[in-house]
Chain A
Amino acid sequence: MTGTLLEVRGLEIDFVQYERGLRRRTVHALTGMDLTAGAGEVVALVGASGAGKSLLAHAVLGLLPPNAVERGDVLLDGVALDAAGRRRHAGRGMTLLPQATGFLDPLAPVGRQVRRSAQLAGHADPRRAAAEALQRRGLGSEVLRRYPHELSGGMARRVLVAMATLSSPRVLLADEPTTGLPPEDVRTTLRELRAMADDGCAVVLITHELRAALEVADRVVIVRDGRTVDTAVPAAFTGDGEALTHPFTRALWQALPGNGFRVAEGV
C-alpha cells in the first residue's frame, strides 16, 4: 500500500468517572484498536454494537472530553500526533461525517449551516458552493431555508454528506452514514465515498451493514469489545465463510439474513 495517511496503533481509551463523591472508577472503552487507511482506499470498520467504532473516530479527531485517557499511537502522514495536535487537523484535511442527524444545529436553517462549511473550507463563493453541493445530491434551493427537523432522515444525511465533502478532506471518517436509509440511497452514498477514495482520499467507513460495505471497501477491519480482532478482504466474504479465519468474523457473516441467520454460541 502506498501513502498511508492514517495509522492507528494499539489505541486504548479509558474514561475516568466519579461515582459518588470522590470515588472514581475507570471505564476501559477501547482496549487495542489498530487501523490503517491509505490514499485511495475505503477501509470498512465493522463490528458488534458498542464495540467502540464511533469512539475511535472521535478519538482520531481529538474530540474526546477531558476525562478520556489515551494510550497508543495515532499517526497522520507518518507523524505521531497527540489529541490536541490531531484536533488542529479536524475539519482541515481530516473530516468526520457524523452518525446522528443531531449533529446539525437545530436552530439554524440548513442553508446557513452548509454555507458555513463552505466558508470554513475556503470556497471563494460559499453561497454558490453550498447550493451546488446540495443540488448534486438532489436537494433543491427550497431545502436551504428549512430547519433540520423539517428534513426526512435521508435528506438530513445527504446534507451531512454535502457538508463533509465541501472541505475536500484527505481523510474522511464516515460514521454509520447509511443507517436507516433505503437500499438505493445506501448505494448512492457508498458510491460517493468510493468516488472520493478514487480521487485520493482515505475513507474509513464505520458501519454495521457488512453486505453493503463489501461492495465498496478495499479492506474490512473487524472490531469487538474495544479492540481490532481481524482484517479481511471483501473477497473472503463468500459462501459459508470458509475463507474467513477469525471465528467472530465468520459468525458475523453467517448471522446475516440469507447466509443462514445463525447465532453462533460462545463467539
Chain B
Amino acid sequence: MLRAEGVWFRYERGRPWVLTGVDLGIEAGEVVGLCGPSGGGKSTLGRLLAGHLRPDRGRVTVDGAVPRSRRAPNPVQLVLQQPERAVDPRWTVRRALAATGAELDGLDERLVHPGWLDRYPHEISGGELQRVNLARALLVRPRYLVADEISASLDAVTQARIWTLLLEHCREAGIGVLAISHDRPLLETVAGRVLDRSPVPDAAG
C-alpha cells in the first residue's frame, strides 16, 4: 500500500503551508482519482508521493517503509502533463527509454510503435510522446503510478487510447494509480473512487 501519513509541506520556510497533515492510502491495483481546483496542492502531493519532494512533517511509505534506495528506481513513478518537458530533446526515443536501465525487448508495441524509437521527441506528436513517457515509467516496473493531468493537452480520442492502455497495464501488473485531474468526468470513468482536494487555508500551521 502507498500511504501518505500526516504529510505537511511548504516550498520555503515562512511561506504558507501547501499541505497540512494529508493522509491518503492507495492499495495495489487500485485506481484513485484526485480532483480539485488549481492551487489546492494536488501536484505537490503527487511529487511528494513519487519522492521528488520530501515532506516537512509526516512520511510517505510503500508497504510500510519509506523508499530510500538510490540505486533502484523509486517504486512510485510520476508521469506529468507535458511530455516534451519530461524528455531530453536531444535524445532519441530509444535513448530516453534505455536510460531507465531496463531491456527494451519487453516494450509494448501498442504503447510505443517500433518506428518511433530512432526519432527525436519533436518528430512524433504530443500524444505519441506521452505514450513514450508512460512506457518509460512502466519500464522500471513501478508498484505505483502518479498520473498528473497526463491527458489534459490531448484530444479526446488520444486521451481515451492512452488511458485504456495505462489501465490495462496497471491491471495486469497490479500497479496502483493516483490519477490527478481537473476533469471530474474523466476521473469518474477511470478511477474506482475520487477524492476532492480543496485549497488549504493560508494561516494554517
Contacts and interface: CB of A to CB of B under 8 A. Distances in A.
Interface stretch (A79-87, A180-188, A228-236): A180-188
A217 interface: no
27 contacts: A46-B155, A47-B155, A49-B125, A49-B126, A49-B155, A50-B125, A50-B127, A153-B38, A180-B38, A180-B81, A180-B149, A180-B152, A180-B182, A181-B182, A182-B37, A182-B182, A183-B184, A252-B157, A255-B160, A255-B161, A257-B160, A257-B186, A257-B189, A258-B185, A258-B188, A258-B189, A263-B160
Interface in A124-138: none
Interface string A109-136: 0000000000000000000000000000
Contacts, number: 77
Interface string A243-261: 0000000011101111001
The 6 closest A-B pairs by CB, nearest first: A257-B189, A255-B160, A50-B125, A255-B156, A257-B186, A257-B185
Contacts of A262: 160
Interface of A: 46-50, 152-154, 179-185, 208, 210, 251-253, 255-258, 261-264, 267
Interface of B: 37-39, 81, 125-127, 149, 152-161, 163-164, 182-186, 188-190
A208 B153 contact: yes
A37 B128 CA distance: 32
A210 B155 CA distance: 9
A49 B158 contact: yes
Contact of A49 (B81, B153, B182, B190): B153
B185 A49 contact: no
Contacts of A46: 155
B126 A50 contact: yes
A184 B37 CA distance: 9
Nearest to B158: A49
Contacts of A180: 38, 81, 149, 152-153, 182
A261 B153 contact: no
A264 B158 CA distance: 10
A183 B39 CA distance: 14
B161 A263 contact: yes
Given A182-B182, A258-B189, A261-B189, A210 B127 contact: no
A252 B156 CA distance: 6
A208 B159 CA distance: 11
B185 to A, nearest CB: 4
B157 A267 contact: yes
B146 to A, nearest CB: 17
B46 to A, nearest CB: 15
Given A181-B182, A255-B160, A208 B189 contact: no
A220 to B, nearest CB: 13
Given A180-B152, A208-B153, 7 more contacts: A48-B127, A49-B153, A152-B38, A179-B152, A180-B81, A208-B154, A255-B157
B157 A263 contact: yes
